Amino acid sequence: MSSASGLRQPKETNKGRNGFRERHIPLDPANPDDLAISRHHFAQYVLASKGSYNGPSLKELKAGPKAPPVETKETVDEKIQELKRQHEEDVQLLTMFQAAEYRQEVLDRYNCIDDSITGVDPEDQIQVDYLAALNELYNDARPMKRFQHDMDDALSQIRYNYLKSLLPLLTQRRRLGMRDSHARKQREAQFPQSIEEYHNSPDRDSQLRVARFLMSSTSEQEKMRETYQWAWRAVQSLMSVFKTNEGFKNEILETVKDAQASDPRRRPTATPGWQ
């Protein structure tokens, strides 16, 4: 028998639908079913393991609402990693809790067996039924489908809540990544018009890109202009300064040399056998 055959199959009524309740539906407290009992048990576990939420203090309430922090791709990445860590911890705690519950249930059922009974009078139907009920209870202790179902339900609920929190964060990270990529392309398309603008470039990569452009041959400059969408008129101003200003030319030369020296791909490799 394959391992998949032992898994619980979803109900046909839930096919193509959300099988989790999104709102509270009151249950009959006078006649709770097994599902209601198991969910109540799971809710007690959640309260015991997760605690309760403490709202803002009186001082924070008097101070008024704070402006929400500006979200970046990095802060959303941190939230995703924290959510994943918390999910792993939740699954671990639930597994430990279920294992302890299962062990206690097995011990309780084992202790129901009366070892003093060495035989049963087959004519006494009460004794026969009594021993049969105890044996059935004991034999059911090891598989205990109820525990398997409760574990599956609890894991499914935790997984569902985890994905419900994760998906919006993944969407937000993708949106912020696209925004950052668009902003980076816009920065790359801006070519400095003066030495001051070159020095005020937002990052070193931008400066190095311009420096390499100024030091490149005409054909290489054409390729770079197409890659970064620099208009020919946009590069003329700084190129004229580069040709006439010796100090700026030397600065560009040193920048390119330093970049080549720090790039391991451009370092000379030793010839085998040479000392």
Write phi, then psi, for 109 (nearest 5 degrees).
-70, -35
Using the predicted structure, report yes or no on whether residue 172 has a pLDDT greater than 90. yes
Computed over every residue of the chain, the mean pLDDT equals: 76
Confidence (pLDDT) at 270: 43
Q: In 101-118, which positions are buried (b, 16+ CB within 10 angstroms) versus exposed (e)?
A: ebeeeeeebeeeeeeeee
> What sign does the dihedral 160-166-170-172 (CA atoms) show?
positive
Which of 95-104, 107-116, 218-227, 246-255 shows the lowest mean pLDDT across its residues? Answer: 107-116
Confidence (pLDDT) at 250: 92
Which of 136-140, 224-228, 261-265 shows the lowest mean pLDDT across its residues? Answer: 261-265
Q: 36 vs 12, which has greater pLDDT?
A: 12
Q: Where are the alpha helices (DSSP H) in 189-245?
A: 195-199, 204-215, 218-228, 232-244
pTM given for the model = 0.54
Average pLDDT over residues 53-76: 74
Average pLDDT over residues 144-161: 78
pLDDT band at residue 54 using 50, 70 and 90 as cut-offs: low
Q: 218 vs 61, which has greater pLDDT?
A: 218
Tens-digit pLDDT profile for residues 219-247: 999 999 888 888 888 889 999 999 999 99
* Three-class SS state of 270: coil
Tens-digit pLDDT profile for residues 19-50: 655 544 555 556 555 556 666 666 767 766 76
